[in-house]
Structure 1
């Protein structure tokens, strides 16, 4: 990571002025607007649907380029007497202040006199990637067109030559964050593929190309998609799914590896559904959930009289799965005796019931899964070396949820539908703040933990309303404002607002209202404004619902 540090942005925040009486917002001498991300999403959708994806990309890229060029003019005015680097990073800082994306410099190397420039930046919380995925799902190519136009426009105006930025990683393609690289246009060998998006073009002339756009979109929709039981488009998910897809048409034994709760059984079921055995049974057994003295009879069956209590002969899981797929979860927990029999099944394709002296041929596809390190188990003597190499023919690693952040919105959407139907709840969805909290959580329990969290939110959220942060987590969660990225607006107070605040404070102190009295008055006012909705009152006060509950209980106790 670069050692570049941003200077304090107080000089930039001070440029923002609100004039609500006249409906004006100013950034220095340039008029600005506040726009809902949902409005940008609708504009983007209409452009793509109306004029095609290429023309929409051109329009948005040129919009961003124009905005970047204007901010470059401001950078020279504001920090013209500071170092060249501090002056340049006005662009990234303004881009963040304007709510578009969080920018982290990875590498920055430029020389104004030599007109040399190379910049490598990491992007997080991209609004364009977020709204694109919301409307169209994940994409094959980067989609932050307006933001990449801004970076190119700002740097080109600052350096006095065309600096072309390319987005080499994008959240919309399944990455955990976006990444951009910029350098002079002539240094890009494929620059001709990108420069047309910065040039003016007639929409009418482009309309003739819409047929090819439609054909391309149709081909994209017709490509093979994962079954409904598997949800995700992140790079890690797609890699695991590709391996499953290739193995499905074969008879190879598959070993699924991953932490607890990542969805290994879902992948096993998907493998079965995509295979020629789909019409046969899918039988799953958790080896860790059975006592060791019962595992062999459960897997291989038992003959009558094999042991005390065996009154009838009974098929085991292998026989029940004949013609289909057997999923052995937590295979690392099998006792050594059962491991030896399992090895024989894999090698000979036949089983022998407990207490029987004859063998039975079976036709079973085996899928095993474990969250333990089988290499270490072999070294420790807890797992047979020969069985390990027999199972490890085709390993598939399923990434943990913390490495699949891009999949969280898709998973949440599917879970909301499922749990909403289960519990008879109609909900508007998950708030932006709650979704950002979900993305920022570490998820040690992976998808299983996410399911539990969403089900809790569905149950606690009021009918027809939004799921908020306090509905999701069992205890009070004080998510950092910097993590959620939603509490920075307070730093944009204008001088007029500061004057109004001073005047208000003078009135309060002159009236002799104490701090406790002021707090209670504010709470009562907020509850009244929210018509008794405590979640709404908490939002008005800028605190969480649990924090408001605490203050209300404190008031009751004092009475």
Structure 2
């Protein structure tokens, strides 16, 4: 029997939460699904019979590998500040908590700095053994493929280098139990043959890649000129995009409507890139950012001496955009005098610089944008009616982000990639809970607000770690302190309201009714946790949900 003892797993059981209100199961911030072992067994059988044993083994191994890597993130978060062995055995303990197999440690040597690892464990009650033997009987080869993938993925992520586990005994071959051994991949003499089960290069993988290529071709045929900067597949987004695609080859003036931050300038650039003018200049002007007295000179240019300070002639935005596209953002903010000149440009195709009597022909495609209700502005006398009719030939309304929730995941993926490159940082992705928080948010700032949130998340997330809900600060984070069910030590579900207090006890009221002082309560709670952990400060810290340094500080403060 091993001398290695598992620490109390209450910290891990607290991570597993059953939320009856929204029918979700959580392990930390990752969504879980409770499946029948029989359903997994049927999937395993179908894979073996359809693609063969080798390909089925490869698929299931890689599936387990991905699961193990995710659980390694929890190990760092839950016990990262404590004893190294206690931190590592989070993996075996979670593997048992998730119902895969009973894990008994035999030998464990961990040296992260030296990249040295040796792990040996006994497995009992493997679901994969039961599933395989029930369908195919006893065999002459190991069958715990998904679980080997899990052990390898978990240890690889924990160590930061590829650690490969091998099943040296398997109950499916008639042995009393399964036994696994893990070492750095280079220490296995048959590493090359084992490594293939963890690699994506396979017949199935190539078939899946081919299917993805065909799907990409289908999408490209359906939308041949899709612009990479415009991301979305929701019906409302695709309707707006389809209108832009149809307008792009023409010279029609386009009016982009929508709330602040929906991506009007990106649509304007898409119109330019898809048009015959794509080799010409694209000039963008934010009308709201220009003082009223400078708007006309900025748009139409100025001749030397036209006003005090005009020491040289200068071309305006219309001339600079000649042969290309001029994008006027926040058009509703233009003063009436500038509106009159803009109307003449649209009607005659010519401009006059300030202080110049000579007209100049310009060949410009105008794209305008506003978040102002122009019809109301016309009724109030703030916007010329004739200019409105001239601009409103081809309106495109870009939907707000709250009306295209299905587009949030692909937008987030693209933004995470971009900001990781920008900040020279790698993150594993975004957790399921964080994605739910993003989908639940109102997004008054639309895509621009989402960009800011994701950039902050990339910066705050640990290197190679996950962007979690707490990194986003979006306000609509699915709360962990709402009522849910967790797993007791005996394996029973027990209801827990906010902060994990027992359902039958209003803890704050009980403390207040007791008359105990806050400092005395903290001191008693700290020492009770240390007693329950038998003096192990790391375990006591885990019971309290704080780090060991925080526990040391509080103990000293209360001494």
Structure 1-normalised TM-score?
A: 0.53
Map Cα deviations across residues 62-116 of structure 1 (whole Å, 9 max, x no partner): xxxxxxxxxxxxxxxxxxxxxxxxxxxxxxxxxxxxxxxxxxxxxxxxxxxxxxx
Give 1:235 shift.
Answer: 1.2
Residues 1:261 and 1:214: Cα distance change in structure 2 (over 3 Å): closer
Say which of 480, 486, 494 aligns to 1:490: 486
Aligned to 1:242: 242
Alpha-carbon displacement from aligned partner over 1:390-418 (angstroms, at most 9, x marks no partner): 11111111111111111111111111111
- Per the TM alignment, residue 549 of structure 1 is displaced from its structure 2 partner at its CA by 12
Correspondence 1:220-259 to 2 at 5 A: 220-224=219-223, 226-259=226-259
Check the 8 A contact 1:248/1:274 in 2, yes or no.
Answer: yes
Q: Secondary structure at the match of 2:433?
A: helix
Report whether the alignment pairs 1:516 with 2:515. no
Give the C-alpha shift of residue 491 in structure 1: 8.3
Query: How far does residue 528 in structure 1 lie from its aligned partner after superposition?
Result: 3.5
Q: Is 1:306 paired with 2:306?
A: yes
Question: Alignment partner of 1:464: what SS?
Answer: coil
Partner Cα distance (1:373, 1:221) in 2: 35
Q: How does 1:185-224 map to 2 (within 5 A)?
A: 218-224=217-223
Question: Residue in 1 aligned with 2:84?
Answer: none
Q: Which residue is equivalent to 1:150? A: none
307 and 439 in structure 1: CA distance in 2 versus 1, 3 angstrom threshold: same
**What's the secondary structure of 2:342's corresponding residue?**
helix
CA contact (8 A) 1:331 1:368 kept: yes
Deviation at 1:461, TM superposition (A): 1.1
Partner of 2:477: 479
- The gaps in structure 2 that reach 5 residues or longer are 1-18, 21-33, 53-209, 496-500, 506-519
> How far does residue 279 in structure 1 lie from its aligned partner after superposition?
0.3
Structure 1 position 374, deviation (Å)? 0.6
Question: Could you tell me how far apart the structure 2 residues matched to 1:407 and 1:424 are?
Answer: 26
Paired with 2:328 and 2:247, the residues of 1 have a C-alpha distance of 17
**Residue number in structure 1 paired with 2:324:** 324
TM-superposed CA distance for 1:348, in Å, is 0.4
Deviation for aligned residue 1:316: 0.3
- 1:398: which partner in 2? 398
Q: CA deviation at 1:471?
A: 1.2
Question: Which residue does the alignment assign to 1:289?
Answer: 289
CA shift in 2, pair 1:527/1:364, >3 Å: farther
1 CA distance for matches of 2:211 and 2:452? 45
In the aligned structure 2, how far is the partner of 1:551 from the partner of 1:381? 67
Question: In the superposition, relative to structure 1, how do residues 552 and 342 fare at CA in structure 2: closer, same or farther (>3 Å)?
Answer: farther
| Distance in 2 of aligned mates of 1:246 and 1:383 | 28
Residues 490/542 of structure 1: CA separation in 2 closer, same or farther (3 Å cut): farther
Number of the residue aligned with 2:453: 453
Unaligned runs of 5+ in 1: 1-11, 14-26, 52-210, 506-513
Residue pair 1:433, 1:486 contacting (<8 A) in 2 also: no
Residues 222-266 of structure 1, C-alpha deviation per residue, up to 9 Å, x if partnerless? 432521111111111111100101100111100111111111101
1:1-20 matches, cutoff 5 A: none
1:515 to 1:222, Cα distance in 2 relative to 1, 3 A: farther
Once residues 35 and 458 of structure 1 are traced to their aligned partners in structure 2, the CA distance between those partners, rounded to angstroms, is 37
Q: Match of 1:444, SS?
A: coil
Per-residue displacement from partner, 1:366-410 (whole Å, max 9, x unpaired)? Answer: 000001111111111000000011111111111111111111111
- TM-superposed deviation, 1:219: 3.4
Quick check: 1:325–1:366 contact (8 Å CA) kept in 2? yes
Structure 1 pair 220–520 and aligned structure 2 pair: CA distance change class (3 A): same
Q: What is the CA deviation profile of residues 287-315 of structure 1, one whole-angstrom value per residue up to 9, with x for unaligned ones?
A: 00010000000000000000011011000
Evaluate the alpha carbon distance shift between residue 300 and residue 390 of structure 1 in structure 2; reply closer, same or farther with a 3 A threshold.
same
What is the RMSD computed on CA atoms of the aligned residues? 4.7
What secondary structure, in the 3-state scheme, does the structure 2 residue paired with 1:490 have?
strand
Displacement of 1:34 after TM fit? 11
> C-alpha deviations, 1:530-549, integer Å up to 9, x for none?
9x9xxxx7xx9789x9xx99
Structure 1's 50 and 556: CA in aligned 2 closer, same or farther, altered over 3 A? farther
CA distance in 1, matches of 2:265, 2:391: 17
CA shift for structure 1 position 522: 9.2
Count of matched residue pairs: 346
Displacement of 1:221 after TM fit? 4.8
Q: How far apart in 1 are the matches of 2:444 and 2:452?
A: 13
The structure whose RCO (Cα within 8 Å, separation 6+) is larger is 2
Verify: 1:435 aligned to 2:431, yes or no: no
**Equivalence for 1:343:** 343
1:357 aligns with 2:357: yes
Cα drift, residue 523 of structure 1: 8.5
Closer/same/farther in 2, CA of residues 409 and 215 from structure 1, 3 Å limit: closer
The Cα shift of 1:333 comes to 0.1
Cα distance change of structure 1 residues 213 and 368 upon mapping to structure 2, 3 Å threshold: closer
Match of 2:204 in 1: none
Change (3 A) 1:285 1:34: farther
- Give per-residue Cα distances to partners, 1:331-388, cap 9 Å, x unaligned: 0000000000000000000000000000000000000000111111111100000001
- TM-score using structure 2 length: 0.53
Tell me if 1:32 matches 2:30: no
Q: 1:415 aligned to 2:415?
A: yes
